[in-house]
Amino acid sequence: MASTYNIATKQAEPEQLGGTPAVAVEHLQKSFGAQKVLQGISVSVSRGETLAVLGRSGTGKSVLLRLIIGLSSPDSGHVRIHGQDIGGLALDRMGEIRKKMGFLFQHAALYDSLTIGENVAFPLEHHRRELAKSERTGRVKELLAEVGMESGFEKMPSDISGGMQKRVGLARALALEPEILLLDEPTAGLDPISSGEIDELILKLQRERQMASIVVTHDLHSAKTIADRLAILDQGNVVIEGTFEALQESPLGFVKEFLRQS
């Protein structure tokens, strides 16, 4: 049976029909100095669904993800995770919510003084202290095998390619079995073959784990492959949101131009 995580009771509860979205962003505004990056964005994602957020560079796509995971605070608006408004939460309280979220950074953000295995084990060491070392190692190897990096256990992040680092970053993001997955440009900087492999990996993981996923990307082909819905940002607003077919039928000039150039 599908389930959602109740922040108040810290328990998984059966998901009801028409239930609360896993992630809901309401009228978010964010500025950096005089530059307004987000001007009232509202989107939502439910369990088992993948939303791709596209747009030109500098339209606030990555900022949106940082606001959802709480690494930045919005100027106004709300971010709700399983119905819980995360605005103003203390760091440790926010940590309880983040345990159910996984984040893949654009450049993977691996800990460069730790091996690949230690990187993936890092969340488990801090949040699954009841696991014996052998269990933890076994779990890490399973995660690395899932992303095709089983041979990299003892390697350092500097010893592997950018695509491999993304895979390891993904394994680390999945370590605590999150219900919500946030991916910041998962295929940025990768060759077409590696991009395709990452897309297939994300699709496979989504089929198996049924997470609520938000993928920020400028790669339309990748978005078409992995997303159920696409949202295009422009000048801090969501210009259009829907399936790829709906986007193709949009009469909006910007959308046509965006799809044409991608």
Binding region for another protein (CB under 8 A): 66, 69, 71, 91-92, 94-99, 101, 103, 105, 107, 109-112, 122-123, 126-127, 129, 172, 176
Q: What is the DSSP string of the chain?
A: --EEEETTTTEEEEPPTT---SEEEEEEEEEETTEEEEEEEEEEE-TT-EEEEEESTTSSHHHHHHHHHTSS--SEEEEEETTEE-TT--HHHHHHHHTTEEEE-TT----TTS-HHHHHHHHHHHH-TTS-HHHHHHHHHHHHHHTT-GGGTT--GGGS-HHHHHHHHHHHHHTT--SEEEEESTTTT--HHHHHHHHHHHHHHHHHH--EEEEE-S-HHHHHHH-SEEEEEETTEEEEEE-HHHHHT---HHHHHHHHH-
Least separation in angstroms between CB 256 and another protein: 35
What's the rounded Cα separation, in Å, for the pair 81 and 30? 19
Of 17 and 91, which CB lies nearer to another protein in the complex structure? 91
Least separation in angstroms between CB 109 and another protein: 4
Least separation in angstroms between CB 119 and another protein: 9
Least separation in angstroms between CB 240 and another protein: 29
Of 120 and 232, which CB lies nearer to another protein in the complex structure? 120
Of 69 and 247, which CB lies nearer to another protein in the complex structure? 69
Least separation in angstroms between CB 69 and another protein: 5
Least separation in angstroms between CB 195 and another protein: 21
Of 122 and 244, which CB lies nearer to another protein in the complex structure? 122
Of 66 and 139, which CB lies nearer to another protein in the complex structure? 66
Least separation in angstroms between CB 262 and another protein: 26
Of 78 and 128, which CB lies nearer to another protein in the complex structure? 128
CA distances from 243 to 108, 202, 226, 228 (A): 28, 18, 11, 6
Of 159 and 257, which CB lies nearer to another protein in the complex structure? 159
